[in-house]
Amino acid sequence: MKLNIVPAKTGWLWVRLGMKTFFQQPLALGGLFFMFMGVVSLLSAIPFLGSALSLALLPAATLGLMTAARQASEGRFPMPAVLASAFAAGKQRMHAMLKLGGLYALGFLLVMGISALFDGGQFASVYLNGEPITRELANDPEFQQALWVGMGLYLPLAILFWHAPALVHWHGVPPVKSLFFSAMACWKNKGALLVYAFGWLGVFMAGGMALSLVMALLGSEQLAGLFVLPSVLLMAAMFFTSTYFTFRDSFVADDPPPT
């Protein structure tokens, strides 16, 4: 397995492949993403340990969605069991994925802890406990500062874990080494990832404009609201589908990864 450096324009290709693959199997990939969100929501509702547990399982769940995208790109129909792919590859890979999940949970909670220093934990409480954001809270300078600090600190965490689950699962890379290889791949292909990020930003903005137009035509906020959440989740499902292609093109394997 070695790093593959791609041109910046590949980032837009990843966006298009994500959307194209999703529409090849929209029911399967959309349903799997809804299952993924449902499991995360249920785990987060568990008192005290729920948020940490859902964070620890996030890398494994992300790997499941990437596996589903890979199967869909090969013309296969992903089944629900694919979400548990990380736990069906032997004890060694399973333990490595759980260790990776623990590192992610610690890193994320550290980010939230640092952000709490700026607003007394209001932003962390909203993010981890799902508390509603009031207008007064959104306009609070301390909350805004904590929001930007949290986003700024989360970016390097996301880079470390972007390719890590796939490296652990498909290539047997140890968890700590997978973080290094993930960060290196993201840095070397930063041009493509920047185009990829702006591409998805454009897709979500276009989707938001389309939803606004639908709401204006319907003339009813309650009726239009029925379309908002499913549409946002479907676009998020397309995004998660595209993450497989960012990994596939960033590394070249000496032997094909196991199915």
Q: What is the pLDDT of residues 183-208, one digit of tens each?
A: 999 999 999 999 999 999 999 999 88
| pLDDT reading at 219 higher than 70 | no
pLDDT tens-digit map of 130-141: 677 777 887 888
DSSP lists the bridge partners of residue 252 as 2
**Mean of all residue pLDDT scores within the chain:** 88
181: in domain: yes
User: Which DSSP letter does residue 161 get?
Assistant: H
Q: Which residue in this structure is represented by tokens 């990020």?
A: 197
Does 204 reside within a domain? yes
- Average pLDDT of the residues in 39-56: 81
**Residue 2, in any domain of the structure:** no
Reference 87, options 55, 105, 56, 60; nearest CA is 60
**CA distance linking residue 163 with residue 91, whole number of Å:** 21
Judge whether 1 lies within some domain: no
Is residue 231 one of the residues assigned to a domain?
yes
Residue 124 counted as domain residue: yes
Q: What is the pTM of this model?
A: 0.87
Number of structural domains the chain divides into: 1
The whole domain housing 188 covers 7-250
- Which H or E run includes 3? strand 2-3
With beta carbons less than 8 A apart as the criterion, state whether 32 and 64 touch.
Answer: yes
192 CB neighbour count, 10 Å cutoff: 23
* pLDDT of 109 strictly over 60: yes
Report, as an integer, the average pLDDT of 27-35: 91
* Res. 173 pLDDT band, cuts 50 70 90: very high
Q: Does the pLDDT at position 259 exceed 60?
A: no
Q: With respect to residue 72, please indicate whether it lies within any of the assigned structural domains.
A: yes
Q: What percent of the chain has pLDDT over 70?
A: 93
pLDDT bracket for residue 250 (50, 70, 90): very high
Round to whole Å and give the CA distance between 63 and 71.
12
